[in-house]
Amino acid sequence: MPFLGKDWRSPGWSWTKTEDGWKRIILFGDVLEDNNGEIDLKELCNGNNENLFVGDVCELSTTKRKKDFYNNNTKSQFVFTDKWIYIQKGSTKERHGYCTLGEALNRLDFSSAIQDLRRFNYVAKLFQLIARSQLTSLSGAAQKNYFNILEKIVRKVLEDHYNPRLVKELLQDLSSTLHSLTIHGRCVLVGNVNIWLCRLETIVKWQQELNNLQIPKQMCTGMSFSDLPLHMQNKILYKFSDACDIINLGQATPTLHILSENNTLWKKLCLFHFSDRPFCRTLAITRNDNVDWKLMYFTLQKHYPMKEQYGDTLHFCKHCSILFWKDFGHPCTANDPDSCLMPISPQHFIDLFKF
């Protein structure tokens, strides 16, 4: 098709052939209906040639207002079918430019990933790291996509009551970052500062909704967790990797409280997260029964990062330099693709795009 579009620098519109002829494909939502009130150019011009320039300016202003209204209200800005992205870090004869964090955020389909419980914690943690340090490195389109996905994350927690504590921490970090960038300092974010103040108000609203979240009691007529034998309840507690989950479960019943205070349980939790620390490993070998492993855990937590554990993560192919979700795969040319795969933690994902 020949180029058809308003801007000669754009790739043009996409068209499809129908029985009635060629029709343009609308990828970015429905046609904008701007009801903000149009400026009557006839009143400004009023048949006077001196006001023709004013009319042109008003027409341009109206067009710009329509465009801004559309950009600020669209919810589905990007339509990508690929589940992987090539990580380009420099220019070669075959490829020019490089891949940015914002491009990866747009193309890796995080909107669908949050619907999978195996990936929800991974995406939420990644968004938390972006909120802490990488928000200013995103393009305007990527920032908009970031907040669209964040809204879906909050809605999922409100509907399914899944891991609200993690999302509360994410919103708290994002709120602190936006406060420092907009209210307490010079705004270096892409877009008008008033847009970011509105987003900040939206974050406060989300925080209030999460704080008022009431998880209904499950009406179960069958066997409950408390009906299980003690050794099975204790075995389930040993599968937890988050100390807050153990403490919260221990507040449910007096029996669970006793199981959650078991010193051996906290010892295994310390070894799981901090086994690479020599003094922790040495202390475990000495079999000193006087060690308060719960206190030891929270002391180590203040000084060292904990081991992260996720149901599913993004993977990076060292042969193809492609980042992808493992379930969807990627077009690999290696003889043994599995040997080239490397799981990517949220922090490693951020580091991939630091040039």
Q: What is the pLDDT of residues 320-348, one digit of tens each?
A: 888 888 888 888 888 888 888 899 999 99
Same domain, 134 and 196: yes
- 154 has a pLDDT exceeding 80: yes
- 192 has a pLDDT exceeding 50: yes
Q: What is the pLDDT of residue 68?
A: 53
Read off the pLDDT band of 273 (50, 70, 90).
confident
Q: Note whether residue 6 is domain-resident.
A: no
Domain of residue 106: give its range.
97-210
Which residue among 274, 301, 328 closes a domain? 301
Q: Note whether residue 122 is domain-resident.
A: yes
Same domain, 184 and 109: yes
CA dihedral of 76, 79, 80, 86, whole degrees rounded to 10: -70
Residue 294: count other Cβ atoms within 10 Å of its Cβ.
Answer: 20
Q: Note whether residue 147 is domain-resident.
A: yes
Which residue bears the tokens 């990866």? 104
Task: Fill in the amino acid letter for 355.
Answer: F
Q: What is the pLDDT of residue 172?
A: 94
User: Smallest Cα–Cα separation from 152: which of 126, 123, 130, 122?
Assistant: 123
Read off the pLDDT band of 128 (50, 70, 90).
very high
Higher pLDDT, 139 or 58: 139
Distance between CA atoms of 175 and 131, rounded to whole angstroms? 9
Q: Note whether residue 79 is domain-resident.
A: no
Q: Note whether residue 195 is domain-resident.
A: yes
Which residue among 191, 210, 229 closes a domain? 210
- The pLDDT tens digits of the residues spanning 80-109 come to 556 788 887 666 666 555 678 888 888 888
Distance between CA atoms of 189 and 99, rounded to whole angstroms? 20
Q: Note whether residue 253 is domain-resident.
A: yes
Q: What is the pLDDT of residue 152?
A: 93
Same domain, 170 and 266: no
For 156, the token pair is 């999922």
| 215, HSE (Cβ side, Cα atoms, 13 Å) | 8
C-alpha 260: how far from its chain's center? 32
Q: What is the pLDDT of residue 214?
A: 84
Same domain, 139 and 198: yes
- 150 has a pLDDT exceeding 80: yes
Same domain, 158 and 249: no
Close Cβ partners of 61 (under 8 Å, ≥ 6 residues apart): 39
For 78, the token pair is 């990007």
Q: Note whether residue 276 is domain-resident.
A: yes
Same domain, 249 and 204: no
Instruction: Walk across the sheet containing 314-317 and list its strands.
Output: 84-86, 322-325, 314-317, 341-344
Same domain, 169 and 272: no
Q: Note whether residue 156 is domain-resident.
A: yes
Same domain, 206 and 166: yes
pTM of whole model > 0.85?
Answer: no
Q: What is the pLDDT of residue 98?
A: 64
Buried b (16+ CB within 10 A) or exposed e, 102-131: bbbbbbbbbeebbeeeebbbbbbbbbbbbb
Q: What is the pLDDT of residue 226?
A: 81
The mean pLDDT of 161-170, rounded to a whole number, is 91
Same domain, 167 and 251: no
Task: Fill in the amino acid letter for 253.
Answer: T
Among 45-59, 120-134, 195-209, the least confident range: 45-59
Query: Which helix (H) or strand (E) segment is 254 a member of?
Result: helix 254-260
Distance between CA atoms of 167 and 123, rounded to whole angstroms? 10
Same domain, 197 and 245: no
Burial of 297 (0-12, 13-18, 19+ CB in 10 A): buried
Same domain, 103 and 204: yes
If one counts the domains in the chain, the total is 2
The mean pLDDT of 36-53, rounded to a whole number, is 45
Q: What is the DSSP string of 171-196?
A: HHHHHHHHIIIIISS---SSS-HHHH
Same domain, 251 and 203: no
